[in-house]
Amino acid sequence: MIKEITSGVYPTMLTPFNTDLSIDYEALERLIDWYIDRGIDGLFAVCQSSAMFELSREERFSLCKETVRITDGRYPVMASGHVSDTIEGQIDDLTAMAEAGADALVLVSNRLASISEDDSVWLKNLHKLMKALPKDLPLGFYECPYPYKRIISSDLVKELIQTGRFEFIKDTCCDPTMIEERATLAKDSVLKFFNANAATLLLSLKAGYAGYSGIMTNFHSDLYHRLCHDWKEMGVEAEALQDYLGVASTIENQFYPANARYSLIKEGVFTNLISRRSDARLRTMTASQKMEIDQFHAISQQMSTRFSS
């Protein structure tokens, strides 16, 4: 096992489904190959984009295990699956990911305290979890927006750094001032911040962030790889690429993940729009919505040609 979180781009993996709603493992292999062909640095499996809240623990285990098997040590695989309400259930959630072979375990920030509970409750529950988790695996956090968004406070970031066990935070704060502060706090520590917000990506990289981990990797991860790895050498072209990625990311507000699934159908990776989401609108797309992704896909390909290294 790699057991190391490298800098760069970590796609928030989608889960392909068959018509009977079972996981399509053949499409999963195509998806992983597609990510790798586009220059990613690792994979974030069993996350919200993976439908982790709609999968059983057994399915989450199987999804992680297959991702590890297919990746075959080529890239680090981080996994979450941290969905249960009780601490006991959360220990089982994360232990399953460890047993499935994940290189790092990613905790969800809203699972450790309710929306009305303060940081002291959060920290107490964190220590309970940490005692039960394998001590040889790096840990991370994901500021998942569902079922509510809990941004990790600066004081808690300091606590995480002091443990020496946390190496990854998927940042969803979307706040330039907080990004600068977090980068300063994490400097010279093992903790790396990965931005999930495209509009602030270049700003965060300049501040010291390690890379990108967001849903737009399911459309054009190669462009994120280019910016994350080469922004210092790109000069004004880095700003041009940032301008495109920031504006392009607004497509995520239009029926994600159905639009990403449709884009991956165009890439020959997925075979359908089938999802576990209960919202029926996310299982289909109108003709005009498909045309929007067709056009978006065409422009992304032009940008990939322009910014290819």
Assess if residue 263 is contained within a domain.
no
Assess if residue 12 is contained within a domain.
yes
Instruction: Check pLDDT > 80 for residue 282.
Output: no
**Cα 33 to Cα 75: distance, rounded to the nearest angstrom:** 12
Give strand pairing partners of 193: 169
Instruction: Check pLDDT > 70 for residue 186.
Output: yes
pLDDT-derived band at 261, boundaries 50, 70, 90 = very high
Residue type for 122, please?
Answer: W
Work out the average pLDDT over 252-274: 94
First to last CA, the chain: 30
* pLDDT computed for residue 182 by the predictor: 98
What is the tens place of the pLDDT at every residue in 88-118? 999 999 999 999 999 999 999 999 999 999 9
Assess if residue 38 is contained within a domain.
yes
CATH number of the domain encompassing residue 70: 3.20.20.70
Assess if residue 14 is contained within a domain.
yes
Counting residues of the chain whose pLDDT is more than 90, the rounded percentage is: 93
Instruction: Check pLDDT > 60 for residue 158.
Output: yes
Record the tokens describing residue 308, joined without a space. Answer: 């290819």
Record the tokens describing residue 118, joined without a space. Answer: 């303060």
139-142 and 166-171 beta bridge pairing: parallel
* pLDDT computed for residue 277 by the predictor: 76
* pLDDT computed for residue 279 by the predictor: 64
Q: Which domain holds residue 61?
A: 8-235
Assess if residue 57 is contained within a domain.
yes
Give strand pairing partners of 90: none
Spell out the SS3 assignment of 202-223. HHHHHHCCCEECCCCHHHHHHH
Work out the average pLDDT over 133-151: 96
Instruction: Check pLDDT > 90 for residue 224.
Output: yes
What is the tens place of the pLDDT at every residue in 203-220? 999 999 999 999 999 999
Nearest one of 5, 84, 14 to 47, comparing CA atoms: 14
pLDDT-derived band at 4, boundaries 50, 70, 90 = confident
Counting residues of the chain whose pLDDT is more than 70, the rounded percentage is: 97
**Cα 72 to Cα 198: distance, rounded to the nearest angstrom:** 29
Instruction: Check pLDDT > 70 for residue 2.
Output: no
Assess if residue 250 is contained within a domain.
no
CB 122 within 8 A of CB 113: yes
Assess if residue 132 is contained within a domain.
yes
**Cα 258 to Cα 176: distance, rounded to the nearest angstrom:** 29
Record the tokens describing residue 94, joined without a space. Answer: 């994360």
Record the tokens describing residue 34, joined without a space. Answer: 């597609």
Nearest one of 220, 218, 193 to 206, comparing CA atoms: 193
DSSP 8-class letter at 23: B
Structural domain total, the chain: 1
Record the tokens describing residue 128, joined without a space. Answer: 């309970």
Mean pLDDT of the chain: 95
* pLDDT computed for residue 254 by the predictor: 87
Q: DSSP letter string over 62-86?
A: HHHHHHHHHHTTSS-EEE-----SS
